Amino acid sequence: SQQGEEDPQALSIQEGENATMNCSYKTSINNLQWYRQNSGRGLVHLILIRSNEREKHSGRLRVTLDTSKKSSSLLITASRAADTASYFCATDGDSNYQLIWGAGTKLIIKP
Amino acid sequence: EAGVAQSPRYKIIEKRQSVAFWCNPISGHATLYWYQQILGQGPKLLIQFQNNGVVDDSQLPKDRFSAERLKGVDSTLKIQPAKLEDSAVYLCASREAGTIQYFGAGTRLSVL
């Protein structure tokens, strides 16, 4: 079953602008992860934020987590054409290390 | 380090035919997952293996889908007989320790 919901479903911005995607989930979690999927490819892990963390950075990525609102956001700064992809949040709240996935945000970077 | 290998990359079959997908996880990864991803949706877990044992197959349509991981390394996922609604990308992922999963490129199945 899908727990996460990404917002927006699709986002189109100019190269160089910042892109923000949001994820909401329903149950308690151990951590939340963001993955990227290029067209026709598998998913690639980007960043993990634990339930006791509020913000995390990795290069041009910034993730925030608000467990009281059961939501997370992914910010990509200074976007590049290569950032064009679908972005998925996945939550891990299970002892079997299963991830529950959202439906994804499709990001298009226009040159 | 080699990534997760999947084959074939693409498969086109007619409904009621059978099809099999193969996955070779990253060496040493004990946990293996098969997902179904329908266009425009996130991955849906079909089955999770720990070594050669099944951890969770609650969402596997067992009347037509089967999966095995006989020696705790490679895995195959089979569909027999296929239906139109099985058209999707089938993703294999593996995990060593921790919670991050590593994905193969997937097999895109089209059922006509």
Q: How far apart are CA A16 and CA A5, in angstroms?
A: 26
Q: What is the mean pLDDT of residues A85-97?
A: 87
- pLDDT value at residue B16: 97
The band of B111, judged by pLDDT with boundaries at 50, 70 and 90, is very high
Chain B CA closest to residue A90? B42
pLDDT tens digit string along B19-41?
Answer: 999 999 999 999 999 999 999 89
Q: Kindly report the number of other CB atoms within 10 A of residue B53's CB atom.
A: 10
The band of B60, judged by pLDDT with boundaries at 50, 70 and 90, is very high
pLDDT tens digit string along A5-48?
Answer: 888 999 999 999 999 999 999 988 999 999 999 988 899 999 99
Q: How far apart are CA A31 and CA B99, in angstroms?
A: 9
Contact A96 B40 (CB under 8 A): no
Nearest to B111 by CA among B72, B74, B80: B80
Identify which of B42, B100, B103 has the shortest CB distance to residue A48.
B100
Cβ distance B46 to B5 under 8 Å? Answer: no
Question: Which residues 6+ apart lie within 8 Å of B68 measured at CB?
Answer: B75, B76
Chain B residues within an 8 Å CB radius of A31: 99
Chain A residues within an 8 Å CB radius of B104: 42
Chain A residues within an 8 Å CB radius of B102: 45
Chain B CA closest to residue A41? B105
Q: What percent of chain A has pLDDT over 70?
A: 95
Instruction: Give the mutation candidate from B100, B102, B107, B110 for the A interface (greatest A CB count, under 10 A).
Output: B100
pLDDT tens digit string along B62-97?
Answer: 999 999 998 889 999 999 999 999 999 999 999 988
Identify which of A2, A48, A96 has the shortest CB distance to residue B48.
A96
Contact A98 B56 (CB under 8 A): yes
Q: Report the Cα–Cα distance between both ends of chain A, in Å, rounded.
A: 36
Identify which of A42, A45, A103 has the shortest CB distance to residue B100.
A45
Chain B residues within an 8 Å CB radius of A41: 105-106
What is residue B104's three-state secondary structure?
coil
- Say whether pLDDT at B55 is over 80: yes
